Amino acid sequence: MFYVYILKSQKDNSLYFGSTENVKDRVKEHNSGKSTYSKTKKPYSLIWFCAFSNKTKAMIFEKYLKHGSGHAFTKKHLI
């Protein structure tokens, strides 16, 4: 399975969107500072995730959430 997830920074309430095969391990990586982009805004809380059976579909959905109308969709339907 492949997962798309949303993290919320406890530092500034910003959102981080990502995809992975192991959500639990990925959240640990973000909170330990191993992820370059997100390390300045740690710690994070997992606020949403969704499973996909296909990696391509997960990546397409992640990209959608990160851009344009995906932000509005997130606020209206996911968080």
pLDDT in tens, the chain (79 residues): 999 999 999 999 999 999 999 999 999 999 999 888 888 999 999 999 999 999 999 999 999 999 989 999 999 999 9
Which fold, 2-78?
GIY-YIG endonuclease (3.40.1440)
29, 43 Cβ separation under 8 angstroms: no
Long-range contacts of 32-38 (CB under 8 A, 24+ apart): 38/7, 38/9
pLDDT at 37: 85
The predicted model scores a pTM of 0.93
pLDDT tens-place string over residues 9-18: 999 999 999 9
Cis peptide before 43 (omega within 30 of 0): yes
Partners of residue 39 on adjacent β-strands: none
pLDDT at 35: 85
